[in-house]
Homo-oligomer: A and B are copies of this chain.
Amino acid sequence: MMEVTDILRRYSALADEKIGEVIRDITPETLLKASEHLITAGGKKIRPSLALLSCEAVGGNLDDAAGVAAAIELIHTFSLIHDDIMDDDEMRRGEPSVHVIWGEPMAILAGDVLFSKAFEAVIKNGDPSMVREALAVVVDSCVKICEGQALDMGFEEKFDVTEEEYMEMIYKKTAALIAAATKAGAIMGSGTPEEVSALEDYGKFIGLAFQIHDDYLDVVSDEESLGKPVGSDIAEGKMTLMVVKALERASAEDRERLISILQAKDQKLVSEAIEIFERYDSINYAHEVALDHVRMAKERLMVLEDSDARAALMRIADFVLEREH
């Protein structure tokens, strides 16, 4: 069986090369350094790898999707830099955040310039007839990322969020960019409309599973794997599928108690919240929803002809729920 880390290493190297080519002429030096910081700090580069694999899976050449792959990673990085400012998160990928090192103004600019460079990467690479369509997909995902972030902010202190509203939020905030990677990759590889649509759904489903699993791990994993205390989402009052489900199913009394815990933002109350989650089976529920989405993602790949790239995409779908941090 292919190791996902080996797959990602091979594909991310190509994306890295293209990213380097696109951003290296940013001036002045300070802006370049601030922009490069998170990119050189690592990250699994799963998004650009998905773009490249999607291109290959429809019979395209890797090079056709290199610009799109670079763009997706640049947009991901831009959104991390701006998110860290908004949430005042001081660490990212084991390093101080961009705004911690260079200050907020330079961090805002670093995000903005990477965003611009993402579009440059798409425009300057690949077949012109495909570029416009791929670009529309990428731009649309950028609008969705902003909308998803705004929705998430609106969920603070809102305790009647429905499962549907929650799924829309994580679709926009997390899954839309992954779906853009797989869809635009397939477009650049000259996929048929059916293939493009299947790969878009695949990206969307694994993106949703990814986010739900992330929230699930926060509750079921341990401090060492997480690199932060168990239940820190609860202590931050964050909306997750487990919260949505527990609030929906709970007795009036438990509902009230859970709301007051989420409002208190106190790490000491985490275990009590988890007890309420368990009482209404909302942790298992979230895990089941994530598993369902991985299953649906893999099912959509059956539209494609068998290939090493398709096998790699299958493997990555399972990998999404194998992560422990």
A30 contacts the other chain (Cβ, under 8 Å)? yes
A69 contacts the other chain (Cβ, under 8 Å)? no
Contact status B105-A146, CB under 8 Å: no
Partner of A105, one of B28, B86, B128, B131: B86
Contact status A113-B30, CB under 8 Å: no
Nearest Cβ on chain B to A184's Cβ, whole angstroms: 13
Would you give the 0/1 interface string for A133-171, flagging 1 where the beta carbon is closer than 8 Å to chain B? Answer: 001100110110111011101100000000000000000
Number of interface residues of A (CB under 8 A): 41
Partner of A86, one of B104, B115, B124: B104
- Nearest chain B residue, comparing its CB with the CB of A116: B142
- Nearest chain B residue, comparing its CB with the CB of A120: B139
Contact status B86-A143, CB under 8 Å: no
Report the separation of the CA atoms of residues A123 and B153 in the bound assembly, to the nearest whole angstrom. 29
Contact status B112-A146, CB under 8 Å: yes
For A87, the chain B residues whose CB sits under 8 A away are 105
Closest 8 CB pairs of A and B: A86-B105, A113-B146, A116-B142, A31-B150, A116-B143, A119-B139, A112-B146, A109-B146
Contact status B143-A26, CB under 8 Å: yes
For A150, the chain B residues whose CB sits under 8 A away are 27-28, 30-31, 106, 109
Contact status A146-B86, CB under 8 Å: no
Could you tell me the dominant secondary structure of chain A's interface residues? Answer: helix
For A135, the chain B residues whose CB sits under 8 A away are 119, 123, 135
- Nearest chain B residue, comparing its CB with the CB of A114: B146
- Nearest chain B residue, comparing its CB with the CB of A78: B112
Contact status A147-B108, CB under 8 Å: no
Would you give the 0/1 interface string for A93-137, flagging 1 where the beta carbon is closer than 8 Å to chain B? Answer: 000000000001110110111011101100110001001100110
For A147, the chain B residues whose CB sits under 8 A away are 26-28, 31, 113
Contact status A151-B28, CB under 8 Å: yes
Contact status B82-A108, CB under 8 Å: yes
Contact status A139-B116, CB under 8 Å: yes
Question: If the complex has contacts A139-B119, A150-B31, are A108 and B86 also in contact, measured as CB distance less than 8 A?
Answer: yes
Nearest Cβ on chain B to A295's Cβ, whole angstroms: 30
A85 contacts the other chain (Cβ, under 8 Å)? yes
For A120, the chain B residues whose CB sits under 8 A away are 136, 139-140, 143
Partner of A106, one of B30, B111, B153: B153
Question: If the complex has contacts A120-B143, A135-B119, are A85 and B113 also in contact, measured as CB distance less than 8 A?
Answer: no
CB pairs A–B below 8 angstroms (30 shown): A26-B147, A28-B147, A28-B151, A28-B154, A31-B146, A31-B147, A31-B150, A82-B109, A85-B104, A85-B105, A86-B109, A105-B153, A106-B153, A108-B108, A109-B146, A112-B115, A112-B142, A112-B146, A113-B143, A115-B115, A115-B142, A116-B142, A116-B143, A117-B143, A119-B139, A120-B139, A123-B132, A123-B139, A131-B132, A132-B132
